[in-house]
Structure 1
């Protein structure tokens, strides 16, 4: 079904945001006079022609930086749009523009209906007012009548889990309690567009799951729109219908959720240690030598920022200088502390004797259907053994990161950083 103009609830038209580095405001008095003189003559702001790309890892070559540059997209009613990217990519700046907290340097935002924003912990809350009073204050800011707020009051308080402290000044709340109450207000006062930044990361796992469930109800059940920024790829995958990837203030990818997340994860710098040809710190007799190692996702794309619970292949290129018999390839996964987390061995899965003739270049894939590692940094050790002993042994052959993932299909990431993740279930007989 084609999208009609009536379906579109938000349009970002050529949005850009420029900042002057190191100063509060737009610049010096001479710059402001220069801008004014160009404006009087009906000419373009001269400083829009300058400015460096918003790459926080490089030294500035201009006094001006583009936090966002030429962002264009449309959002349909009932859609959940994810906005992902590295720190400093421009995600929060974009949400602040969409929420009208700040204005764009160029371009415009067109919206239909009421917008509720949850951008930072406690934004819009008065610390001296109680939780209950802040519910009414926030509702009024969103344009709700007192009667509308009162009809939702009990539901908001129950959802927030702050019943005991609702008549206590907000300044005495923890950051997690403020987020709970702020999200409850924003979600229950029926905005047409709900804008949410990374603040849900402050809440505990139980509240994150509850909040994601509420956002799903808002979009799928009530047909309202959600704009969601998060580094939690499990939440993005379970919640979003479409995703935009930002990099250095530019829109570098826009598409379906799985493809966009894969694109984002594959943007990490390719590891310099994937070629093993020149490694001299290796053991074994050398009749088989490992040449190169890659990690491929389900689409056979290289990826080194991985998600737990997803399918990956460790592809290992090798060559042989002699016929070798009863060949075993062992792939061991170590964490950053040097602790072995798990290993794979072709002798475990296929005990039939494997013989390899002389080959100049070939490869073997070690497929892992559900990556069982929690968040963290890991490295791989490769070993080949055969009749007569070890043929090749390379420690730290490849490093990679687990950056998230929903291993248990529960809508949340795993908290534990130890051991491996194992599918299991509990059946209570009470």
Structure 2
């Protein structure tokens, strides 16, 4: 409830136009994180006793406010995260859906679950809030995932410290203002933008932290999981960690399938939002008898795509998020040139913004780095499989298992994929 200004700022710029400043937010340090934690801990004692219906109502009101300001938020996502309009619009819509969904879920579970009782006793199964949660949200869905993970915790009676991604702090600040306008009592949601090394680690380790909800990279997620497993002095629980991390999404294309649908799906999934999703197609594994047909069509479709500032609605693809992402993706392009055959793209330009051309590599082997490591950019690797069983084996041959797709008209192969494709 208290607005604090610091000299140290996080500066948010437009990744499509490095000269354009989107906003500055005050940067929290360890002392402010401690202050926020104590506020959240004290507020939890009253917030947990709020009627579930009243907590849900705040989410319904916030959803209504955002629905009225939908295009403003989408425009902010285009400017701050470089999202093309269709992706930005979907991000805002998903944020509204999360608010509505969790509010309705709360109304469903508020009375607990019926359990049997013997004569002379009364058994009850109810849900209780956990405590103070740390929400560490990502930059690639800076509204939907940030809002969804925050309100799921709040509506169930927990208080939250929200540490948004440092590249997209403005949309998070605007969301916090909406929650305040919707009637959320002060101290329930505490906005603490800051560095992961300073503020993030401190809050993950804090004895008053009850749970951590994290979305981001595998390295950071594993580190949080490890740190949260230690019981610090004054801690009276084992911390709960919800971690959604990286992906190496695969589209498997069977020989018995709609090949035009397959090609269009690969292009849309690989290059939508510049491939910056854990669910973006990073590998296309195609059965050998249709491999060339699918590959050629994907190359054709990719060469029709336009890349540029997403403010121009005619551009299919915008920038990648920042210089570090640009450098990482371009280094994988160089690896790809050694491992496979460059079919499209392979170029980047960071003079005005962080733009990478949609890139396709063909003829990768299952052990190649492009087939195993998360790139998080507009780069897709094609590999050939001799039959459907081998295609699933290649798809599973990575550390990641978040999402995947199979395009086939063969019902037996659909059932096989349900059992053997390690995703979800």
Name the one with the larger strand percent.
Answer: 1
The normalised TM-score by structure 2 is 0.29
